[in-house]
Amino acid sequence: MAHPPSRSSELPFSTFLKTCQSNVPRKHLKLDFKEIEAVEPCLKMLKDHPAIEGQGIYLNADVLPGPGNRGSPPTCDASTFLSTVLKHTPVPCLSLGFSCHVARTSNPLGTYLPSDVTSMISLCEQYDLSEKSAGIVFALNLRIAMKDLNTVKGLLAVPNSQILFWTGTGEPSVHKSYLEWVETEMEEFKGRVAFDCKIAETSLEGYKNEFLIKLINTINRFRGLGL
């Protein structure tokens, strides 16, 4: 996965792309766009660096507001991002998410709502993404999604789609039992669910993290900041 650096960088995107693609063991690339201004220039460069056989390049962006960020616009405007991608990439591999401020607190606020799912599905239909893309991955924060898995399952009504559950930078690692529970609950969609999560190295660490998160959430509730 390619994230923007936490500090300023002089590494040109073209050099980065060439280096990643020459590393054959890394089958796929995921470009995580944090600024809409970077999308078009990068996509133009991609045309000069065709993927090697069997390698997919996933274009990721948070295109809709989500939990903890509903009062602010998403990282990338949905219409601008998708129209630009479809213009420069004939059959893109898409990864679409909701803008969430997970690292702002130890416990993400809120949950994914039915209206979030409806908005994302409408977006896919508006741009005919099931037909015009090589596939759609819906990126969801694991802890937030676990609060209402039945709701987020609705995203898989979109043809040619999958769900990727993730944990964010600065977010405490999760107990492995969380992933096992989600896999069981999503059994009917086996093969369409994947994880990109930081897993606690020990059970003790996992349980400790969840205890601290619940404690912080309890404190936030008293402050009017909790769920």
Top pLDDT among 164 and 48 is at 164
User: What does 148-204 look like in DSSP terms, one character per residue?
Assistant: THHHHGGGGGSTTEEEEEE--TTPPPB-HHHHHHHHHHTGGGTTSEEEE--B-SSHH
pLDDT score for 226? 46
Which token pair is 199?
């897993």
pTM to 2 decimal places: 0.86
Which token pair is 44?
């133009």
12 pLDDT tier (thresholds 50, 70, 90): confident
What digits encode the pLDDT tens for the residues 175-184? 999 999 999 9
Distance (Å, whole) CA 184 – CA 177: 10
Comparing CA positions, the residue from 48, 78, 49, 35 lying closest to residue 86 is 78
Q: With beta carbons less than 8 A apart as the criterion, state whether 200 and 174 touch.
A: yes
b vs e for 34-64, b when ≥16 Cβ sit within 10 Å of the residue's Cβ? eebeebeebbebbeeeeeeeeeebbbbbbbb
Query: Is the sign of the CA dihedral 89, 93, 98, 100 positive or negative?
Result: negative
Which token pair is 32?
């995580």
Q: What is the CA radius of gyration of the chain?
A: 18
Q: What is the mean pLDDT of residues 126-142?
A: 97
pLDDT of 104 higher than 60: no
What is the CATH number assigned to the segment(s) 13-222? Answer: 3.20.20
Residue carrying the six token digits 């020459």:
22
